[in-house]
C-alpha cells in the first residue's frame, strides 16, 4: 500500500519523551531550536512541499532495484560488491576509486525512496535511515572531494522528500531527523569553504548549497548560505561556459551535467519566488542552443571527451518551461512541433566545435545526416581526450562513425591493459596518429606541460554545401595536421587530411565504427578504390600503392564500466616528409550504391601540382535509379592560383561539380572562388573578390564572403 498522509493532529508516538528535548539544537534558527524534537518532526512532516521539484511516483522497477540494497549489495558503475552488515564506509572493495565515490554519492537512495513510495514498505525507509546514519557516524565532511558532498546532498534531499514531508513514516524518528539536518548544514558549510576552483564540480557544489539554503530556512546558516550561493552561482556561470555557450571542459556529457544543475537552480528559484539576474538566463539560453545542435537526429549525443553516450532530450523538455523557443521545441519533439533553427549547420567558434547536418526538415527526422567535428583544445580540467580534429558521424537513424567514449577513470590493469589510456589516447579517435604517438603525453588525470592546440581556419555553411577547415599542432612532433571537411549536397562528406612535415613520419588514420558493424564489413572491389562497405556506410579513398588499409579490433563504451567490441578501419603510410589522405564517407539507407573513387591530376602553369598543394577526386555514385559523376577539388595552400583539372579551370579553395549520367551539370558549389570555367564556359569572374557560388536547377547564386560586393 502507499505511505499514508498524516492528519493535522500530532501522531501519538511523537509525544514520547526524547533525551534530545532538553538540549537546544544550535544548528537551527532560535524559533525552531526552542521546539522539542517531537515538535520539530511534526513541523517538517506537515510543512508544505510546493517549494521542491515535483516528485515522480514509485514503480515496481524501483522495488526490484532496491531489493539488493537491503542486503548491502551495490551495483555501481556496472560493478557489484556485497558489503557486510556493519561495513566500513572508508574501505573500497574495488580497485577503482570511482566505485567508492559512487557509494558516497548515494544515488541508490532514490531507489529506496521510490520503492517506499510504491509499496509503503517501511523496510526501505529503515534501510535509508541506517545507511545515512552510519555514514554520518563514520565519515568526515568532504571525504574524497567536495563534488561528492554536493551530489550526496542532492540525493539525500530527494529521498527526504519521499520519507518526511506529507508522510507518516515511522522509521523517520525525531532523533534521526535532527541528526540528518545537522549533517546537511555541516556539509553545506563545508562546501561553502571548500569549493572546487572551477568546472562542473563547482557548479554541482553551488547548486547543492543553494538547494539546502532554499529548502531549509529553519537552519541557522541558511540565510548566509543562500546569499553566498546566489553570488557565486552567477560568477561561476560566467566562467563555466565559453562565449559560444559550450561548457569549458569541452565534454558533451559534462556540458549537460552543468546545464542540468543550473536548470535545477532556475526551477528552485521559481518555485520559491527568488529572482535571478537576466545574465543568468542569457548564458543558459546559449548553453541550450549548443545542446540543440549537439544532439544527433536520433536524439542521442556523441560522447566527445569524457562521458557516456546519453540523450538529454528529457532535460531540454524541462528547460522549455523556462526557456521556450521554436528551435528547442523542434528538437525535443523530433520535428513534430515548433520550428527548426534558422542555421542548418553551425560553428561554435570559441570552443571549436562544429556541427554539419542536413536539412532540419528531413523526414523521418532521425534520417538526417549529421557530423560533429572536434576542432577544439583539450578543455579545462582532466576530461579532455587526445582527439584534436576527430569527428563523429550519423545518418538514417544510426551512429556510423563514433567516438568510443571513456569506459573508465582509473588505470588498474589486471588484464594487462591500461584502459584509461586506451580510451583517452589518439588511436581511440577518428583522427590521425603520427609515429604511434598521442597528441599529448599521456596522463590519467589533468595534463602537465605543453598541450596540443587546434584552430578553425575557415567555416562556410551555404545553401548547397558546408565546409570547415581546421588545423592542429602537437608538442609531441613537428607535424602540422590540417583537416577539411566538405559536406556535399547534404548527402555525403569528403575529408581531406594534410600532414605537413620536413622529416620522415608514419601516419595512421582511424575510423571507429559502431559495434553493430562487427562482422558485417566487406572490402570494396579494387576498381572502386581503397575502403569498405559497412552497414549503412561506404568509406573509400582513391587507390594508392603507398597507402595500406587494415581492419583492427576496437571498443566502444556506451557507459562507465561497459565496453563492446567494434571494428576500426585504418589507412596508413610511411612518408619522407609531408603526407595526405582524402576520404569519401557515403552513408546510405538500406541499399548501398556502387561507389568508385579515383584521383584526378591537377596542374598549374603547365606543371603538375603536388598533393600537398591541391587535390582533386572523381566520385562515381550509381544507385538503382540515379547516376552521379561528382568532381571535388580543394586547394591547401593560401593564396589563389589558377588550377586545371579535367575540363575545369578555377581559382578557388574548394570546388564541387555534380553531373548526371550524360555529363549534364546538375550543380556547382564553390568556396573562396574568383574564377571558374567548366568545359570552356566561364561561370565566374570575380578576381580580387572571393565569393561563394551555388548553381543548381538552372539558378546561379553568388555571395560575398569577405564583406565585398559580389561580381
> Is residue 303 pLDDT above 60, yes or no?
yes
Residue 145 lies in a domain: yes
In the listed set 197, 221, 254, which residue is the last one of a domain according to the structure?
Answer: 197
Average per-residue pLDDT for the chain: 93
Confidence of residue 222 (pLDDT cuts 50, 70, 90): very high
Confidence of residue 706 (pLDDT cuts 50, 70, 90): low
pLDDT, position 315 = 97
Alpha carbon distances (Å) from 139 to 105, 135, 153, 202: 12, 6, 14, 21
Identify whether the C-beta of residue 673 lies closer than 8 Å to the C-beta of residue 690.
Answer: yes
> Is residue 709 pLDDT above 60, yes or no?
no
Identify whether the C-beta of residue 611 lies closer than 8 Å to the C-beta of residue 627.
Answer: no
Residue 527 lies in a domain: no
> Is residue 328 pLDDT above 90, yes or no?
yes
Confidence of residue 414 (pLDDT cuts 50, 70, 90): confident
Q: Compute how many other C-beta atoms are within 10 angstroms of the C-beta atom of residue 95.
A: 12
pLDDT, position 445 = 86
pLDDT, position 105 = 98
Confidence of residue 25 (pLDDT cuts 50, 70, 90): low
Identify whether the C-beta of residue 198 lies closer than 8 Å to the C-beta of residue 380.
Answer: yes
- Count structural domains, the chain: 2
pTM: 0.93
Q: Which set of grid coordinates corresponds to residue 18?
A: 526524547
CA distance 582 to 562: 33
In the listed set 138, 162, 197, which residue is the last one of a domain according to the structure?
Answer: 197
Highest-pLDDT range among 22-26, 165-169, 432-436: 432-436
> Is residue 16 pLDDT above 70, yes or no?
no
Residue 250 lies in a domain: no
pLDDT, position 355 = 98
DSSP 8-class letter at 53:
P
> Is residue 671 pLDDT above 70, yes or no?
yes
Alpha carbon distances (Å) from 75 to 66, 72, 82, 154, 457: 11, 10, 9, 20, 47
Q: Which set of grid coordinates corresponds to residue 512?
A: 571507429
Nearest CA-CA partner of 690 in 669, 708, 667: 708
Handedness of CA 301, 302, 305, 307 (dihedral sign): positive
Helix spans in 96-199 (H): 97-105, 109-119, 122-138, 146-163, 174-193
Count of CA atoms in the C-beta half-sphere (13 A) of 691: 23
Average pLDDT over residues 488-504: 98
pLDDT, position 521 = 97
pLDDT, position 370 = 98
Alpha carbon distances (Å) from 387 to 250, 375, 468, 570: 12, 9, 17, 16
Give the burial class of 35: count Cβ atoms within 10 A of its Cβ; 0-12 exposed, 13-18 middle, 19 or more buried. Answer: middle
The Cα angle at residue 696 between residues 690 and 698, in degrees rounded to 5: 110
Give the burial class of 696: count Cβ atoms within 10 A of its Cβ; 0-12 exposed, 13-18 middle, 19 or more buried. Answer: middle
Instruction: Give the rounded percent of residues in the chain with a pLDDT score beyond 90.
Output: 90
Average pLDDT over residues 570-582: 98
Three-state SS at 531? strand
pLDDT, position 381 = 87
The CATH number that applies at residue 101 is 1.50.10.100
Identify whether the C-beta of residue 643 lies closer than 8 Å to the C-beta of residue 614.
Answer: yes
CA distance 297 to 358: 10
Instruction: Give the rounded percent of residues in the chain with a pLDDT score beyond 70.
Output: 95
Alpha carbon distances (Å) from 440 to 188, 199, 443: 38, 21, 9
Identify whether the C-beta of residue 375 lies closer than 8 Å to the C-beta of residue 455.
Answer: yes
Q: Which set of grid coordinates corresponds to residue 571?
A: 589507412
CA distance 531 to 617: 15
Handedness of CA 256, 258, 259, 261 (dihedral sign): positive
pLDDT, position 452 = 96
Nearest CA-CA partner of 297 in 439, 411, 153, 399: 399
Confidence of residue 50 (pLDDT cuts 50, 70, 90): confident
Report helix angle 200-215 to 222-240, nearest 10: 150
pLDDT, position 91 = 97
In the listed set 197, 231, 250, which residue is the last one of a domain according to the structure?
Answer: 197
Residue 104 lies in a domain: yes
Residue 164 lies in a domain: yes
pLDDT, position 49 = 81
CA distance 151 to 213: 15
Within 8 A by CB and 6+ apart from 492, the residues are: 369, 584, 585, 586, 587
Q: What is the pLDDT of residues 91-121, one digit of tens each?
A: 999 999 999 999 999 999 999 999 999 999 9
DSSP string, 574-631: EESS-EEEEEEEEE-SSSPPEEEEEE---EETTEEPPTTTEEEEEEEEE-SS-EEEEE
CA distance 277 to 344: 31
pLDDT, position 413 = 73
Identify whether the C-beta of residue 389 lies closer than 8 Å to the C-beta of residue 543.
Answer: no
| Strand-pair partners of 484 | 469, 496
pLDDT, position 24 = 52
pLDDT, position 12 = 32
Q: What is the pLDDT of residues 330-344, one digit of tens each?
A: 999 999 999 999 999
CA distance 176 to 126: 11
Average pLDDT over residues 149-174: 96
Q: How far is CA 222 from the centre of its chain?
A: 35
Residue 699 lies in a domain: yes
pLDDT, position 133 = 97
Q: What is the pLDDT of residues 353-388, one digit of tens each?
A: 999 999 999 999 999 999 999 999 999 988 999 999
Identify whether the C-beta of residue 243 lies closer than 8 Å to the C-beta of residue 284.
Answer: no
Q: What is the pLDDT of residues 608-657, one digit of tens each?
A: 999 999 999 999 999 999 999 999 999 997 667 999 999 999 999 999 99
Alpha carbon distances (Å) from 468 to 123, 222, 429, 471, 483: 59, 51, 19, 10, 8
Q: What is the pLDDT of residues 276-296, one digit of tens each?
A: 999 999 999 999 999 999 999
Identify whether the C-beta of residue 637 lies closer than 8 Å to the C-beta of residue 660.
Answer: no
Residue with cell 565566374: 684
SS (H, E, C) 236-265: HHHHHECCCCCECCCCHHHHHHHHHHHHHH
CA distance 579 to 501: 8
Q: Which set of grid coordinates corresponds to residue 361?
A: 526538415
Domain that holds residue 125: 33-197
Residue 574 lies in a domain: no
Confidence of residue 464 (pLDDT cuts 50, 70, 90): confident
CA distance 24 to 107: 32
Q: What is the pLDDT of residues 497-554, one digit of tens each?
A: 999 999 999 999 999 999 999 999 999 999 999 999 999 999 999 999 999 999 999 9
pLDDT, position 687 = 87
Residue 703 lies in a domain: yes
CA distance 566 to 516: 7
Helices H, strands E: what count in the chain? Answer: 15, 32
CA distance 184 to 132: 11
Amino acid at each position: 500500500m502507499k505511505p499514508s498522509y498524516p492528519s493535522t493532529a500530532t501522531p501519538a508516538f511523537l509525544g514520547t519523551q526524547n533525551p534530545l528535548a532538553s538540549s537546544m539544537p544550535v544548528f537551527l534558527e532560535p524559533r525552531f531550536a526552542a521546539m522539542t524534537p517531537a515538535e520539530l518532526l511534526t513541523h517538517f512532516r506537515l510543512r508544505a512541499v510546493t517549494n521542491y521539484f515535483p516528485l515522480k511516483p514509485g514503480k515496481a522497477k524501483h522495488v526490484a532495484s532496491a531489493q539488493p540494497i537491503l542486503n548491502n549489495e551495490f551495483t555501481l558503475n556496472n560493478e557489484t560488491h556485497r558489503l557486510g552488515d556493519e561495513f566500513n564506509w572508508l574501505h573500497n572493495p574495488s580497485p577503482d576509486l570511482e566505485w567508492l565515490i559512487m557509494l558516497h554519492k548515494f544515488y541508490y537512495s532514490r531507489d529506496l525512496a521510490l520503492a517506499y513510495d510504491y509499496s509503503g514498505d517501511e523496510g526501505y525507509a529503515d534501510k535509508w535511515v541506517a545507511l545515512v546514519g552510519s555514514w554520518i557516524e563514520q565519515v568526515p565532511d568532504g571525504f574524497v572531494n567536495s563534488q561528492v558532498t554536493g551530489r550526496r546532498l542532492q540525493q539525500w534531499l530527494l529521498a527526504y522528500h519521499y520519507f518526511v514531508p506529507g508522510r507518516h513514516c515511522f522509521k523517520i524518528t525525531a532523533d534521526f531527523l535532527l541528526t540528518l539536518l545537522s549533517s546537511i548544514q555541516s556539509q553545506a558549510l563545508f562546501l561553502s569553504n571548500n569549493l572546487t576552483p572551477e568546472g562542473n564540480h563547482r557548479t554541482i557544489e553551488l547548486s547543492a548549497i543553494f538547494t539546502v539554503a532554499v529548502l531549509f530556512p529553519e537552519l541557522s546558516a541558511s540565510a548566509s548560505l543562500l546569499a553566498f550561493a546566489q553570488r557565486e552561482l552567477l560568477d561561476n556561470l560566467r566562467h563555466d561556459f565559453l562565449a559560444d555557450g559550450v561548457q569549458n571542459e569541452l565534454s558533451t556529457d559534462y556540458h549537460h551535467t552543468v546545464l542540468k544543475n543550473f536548470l535545477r537552480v532556475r526551477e528552485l528559484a521559481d518555485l520559491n519566488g527568488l529572482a535571478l539576474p537576466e545574465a543568468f538566463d542569457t548564458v543558459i539560453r546559449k548553453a541550450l542552443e549548443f545542446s540543440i545542435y549537439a544532439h544527433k537526429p536520433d536524439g542521442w549525443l556523441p560522447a566527445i571527451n569524457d562521458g557516456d553516450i546519453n540523450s538529454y532530450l528529457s532535460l531540454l523538455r524541462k528547460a522549455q518551461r523556462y526557456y521556450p523557443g521554436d528551435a528547442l521545441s523542434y528538437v525535443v519533439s523530433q520535428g513534430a512541433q515548433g520550428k527548426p533553427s534558422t542555421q542548418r549547420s553551425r560553428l561554435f567558434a570559441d570552443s571549436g566545435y562544429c556541427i554539419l547536418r542536413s536539412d532540419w526538415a528531413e523526414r523521418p527526422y532521425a534520417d538526417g545526416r549529421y557530423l560533429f567535428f572536434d576542432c577544439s583544445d583539450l578543455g579545462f580540467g582532466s576530461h579532455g581526450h587526445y582527439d584534436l580534429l576527430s569527428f563523429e558521424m550519423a545518418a538514417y537513424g544510426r551512429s556510423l562513425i563514433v567516438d568510443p567514449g571513456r569506459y573508465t577513470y582509473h588505470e588498474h590493469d589486471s588484464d594487462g591493459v591500461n584502459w584509461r589510456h586506451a580510451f583517452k589516447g589518439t588511436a581511440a579517435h577518428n583522427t590521425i596518429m603520427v609515429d604511434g604517438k598521442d597528441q599529448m603525453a599521456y596522463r590519467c588525470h589533468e595534463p602537465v606541460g605543453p598541450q596540443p592546440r587546434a584552430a578553425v581556419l575557415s567555416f562556410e555553411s551555404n545553401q548547397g554545401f558546408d565546409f570547415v577547415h581546421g588545423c592542429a599542432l602537437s608538442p609531441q612532433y613537428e607535424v602540422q595536421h590540417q583537416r577539411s571537411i566538405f559536406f556535399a549536397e547534404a548527402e555525403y562528406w569528403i575529408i581531406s587530411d594534410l600532414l605537413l612535415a620536413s622529416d620522415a613520419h608514419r601516419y595512421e588514420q582511424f575510423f571507429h565504427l559502431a559495434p553493430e558493424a562487427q562482422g558485417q564489413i566487406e572490402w570494396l572491389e579494387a576498381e572502386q578504390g581503397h575502403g569498405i562497405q559497412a552497414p549503412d556506410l561506404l568509406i573509400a579513398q582513391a587507390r594508392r600503392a603507398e597507402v595500406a588499409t587494415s581492419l583492427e579490433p576496437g571498443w566502444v563504451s556506451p557507459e562507465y564500466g561497459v565496453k563492446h567490441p567494434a571494428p576500426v578501419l585504418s589507412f596508413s603510410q610511411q612518408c619522407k616528409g609531408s603526407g595526405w589522405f582524402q576520404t569519401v564517407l557515403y552513408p546510405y539507407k538500406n541499399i548501398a550504391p556502387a561507389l568508385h573513387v579515383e584521383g584526378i591530376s591537377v596542374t598549374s602553369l603547365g606543371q603538375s601540382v603536388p598533393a600537398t598543394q591541391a587535390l582533386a577526386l572523381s566520385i562515381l555514385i550509381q544507385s538503382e535509379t540515379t547516376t552521379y559523376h561528382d568532381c571535388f577539388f580543394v586547394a591547401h595552400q593560401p593564396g589563389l592560383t589558377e588550377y586545371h583539372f579535367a575540363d575545369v579551370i578555377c581559382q578557388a579553395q574548394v570546388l564541387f561539380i555534380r553531373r548526371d549520367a550524360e555529363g549534364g551539370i546538375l550543380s556547382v558549389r564553390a568556396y573562396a572562388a574568383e574564377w571558374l570555367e567548366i568545359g570552356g564556359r566561364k561561370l565566374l569572374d570575380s578576381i580580387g573578390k572571393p565569393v561563394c557560388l551555388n548553381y543548381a536547377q538552372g539558378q546561379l547564386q553568388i555571395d560575398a564572403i569577405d564583406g565585398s560586393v559580389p561580381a
